[in-house]
A and B are shown apart, each in its own frame.
Chain A
């Protein structure tokens, strides 16, 4: 029997509540609020309480999917990135950079958000950047 408590940060929204994952014999079983975390002080909403469920969910994607012949098919990351890059290039070429918008996220880090807007402005060439917290 092996039991571990792993501290983490809730990934559901941008609040950043401290959570504890309970791991029993390598399997994620429960989420607890972190009592001493300065953000949530031992409290969580219903999503935070069930955070482990989206990690262990059967519906969770474990590989990228590409739509071929109207159906999603498993793909490698190289293949997926290549396809996305080609399509984006094609759209920018045909309709101009402002035909593309980048939506970033409250659930990713500040640095990742910075990279996303940099990608929009420097690579695509558009100021169409928005954020899920405004949707």
Chain B
């Protein structure tokens, strides 16, 4: 535990290549708040031995000295969205890793946050195929156990590997994974890009209620379909899943389809999404019915 705590408090580096330390980040935040560039800053602070999201404002400016990078990854942008929904003109500063930035881009696209009211400080992020070196330890893949490997889907598989099973095997394996679902809605609740007021997953006419596991595979496939062009592959859903369903892999497949069909790489920019026709300009031709 002590070693882990030390790791959380270690200096971080910025994504623009400049080495940075906690102190420069704290200075930057203080400056922004002092000059009214931002009203609040969302970062992390050690509370009772846990790195927790923390709200820094002018009234608690002294606490900025306790600002840390916090290797436990919470969806700060989801908190920002909730704050902005209550106070639309508030200027928010955020500590972001790559995944947070992708989520912000999607939230800009869907008008949940106004990019003009958001300032970001970039942090080094979690390990991925694109980025081997990383500070965030939370997504270091857990090894799948023997039984899961035998009858289920290993969460660390690539889409291609998962598709290599024959049709019958693949269906059985995914159904095994879905059958573990306890319908906690954690995947939806933690998701930074899930913001709908009404959710299909709670619609009794779309998904039958009253049993566990929920109606499978429809429960998970409805969510998967809705993740097309939305999922930014942050992995928070899989992290929050109490039964280890390989959700990230499932949504990767959906997003790959979106990329193939529309050439849209979700989260990489804040431009028009093929699914959002409410922008300034409609770029898609509706197909004849």
Contact = CB atoms under 8 A, between A and B. Distances in A.
- Our verdict on whether A and B bind, yes or no, reads yes
B83 A24 contact: yes
Given A32-B74, A35-B74, A43 B186 contact: yes
Nearest to B86: A24
Most chain B CB within a 10 A radius of its CB, from A1, A18, A45:
A1
Contact of A1 (B73, B87, B240): B87
A46 B182 contact: yes
B27 to A, nearest CB: 23
Interface stretch (B9-17, B51-59, B215-223): B51-59
A34 B55 CA distance: 17
B52 A24 contact: no
Given A5-B52, A37-B50, A42-B240, A22 B79 contact: yes
Given A46-B183, A49-B186, A5 B90 contact: no
B79 A44 contact: no
Given A20-B53, A45-B184, 18 more contacts: A1-B40, A1-B90, A3-B83, A5-B53, A24-B82, A30-B82, A32-B190, A33-B186, A35-B73, A35-B74, A35-B138, A42-B240, A43-B242, A45-B242, A46-B185, A48-B184, A49-B185, A49-B189
Given A3-B79, A35-B72, A20 B241 contact: no
Contacts of A74: none
B47 interface: yes
Interface in B40-82: 40, 47-48, 50-55, 72-74, 79, 82
B48 A4 contact: no
Contacts of B98: none
Contacts of A45: 182, 184, 242
B53 A1 contact: no
A49 B52 contact: no
A7 B52 CA distance: 8
Interface in B12-34: none
Contacts of B54: 5
Main secondary structure of the interface of B (DSSP, over half): mixed
B50 A36 contact: yes
12 contacts: A1-B40, A1-B86, A22-B82, A32-B74, A35-B239, A43-B186, A43-B240, A43-B241, A44-B184, A45-B184, A45-B242, A46-B183
A22 B86 CA distance: 14
Contacts of A30: 82
B184 A49 contact: yes
B265 interface: no
A33 B72 CA distance: 11
B39 interface: yes
Most chain B CB within a 10 A radius of its CB, from A18, A29, A45, A48:
A45
Interface in B228-254: 239-242
Nearest to A31: B189
Nearest to B244: A43
A49 B90 CA distance: 27
Interface in A93-134: none
Interface string A52-85: 0000000000000000000000000000000000
A39 to B, nearest CB: 12
Contacts of A42: 72, 138, 239-240
A36 B40 contact: no
Nearest to A4: B55
Given A7-B50, A45-B184, A1 B79 contact: no
Contacts of A34: 50, 52
B186 A20 contact: no
A10 to B, nearest CB: 12
Most chain A CB within a 10 A radius of its CB, from B39, B190, B240:
B240
A29 B186 contact: no
Nearest to B241: A43
A20 B52 contact: yes
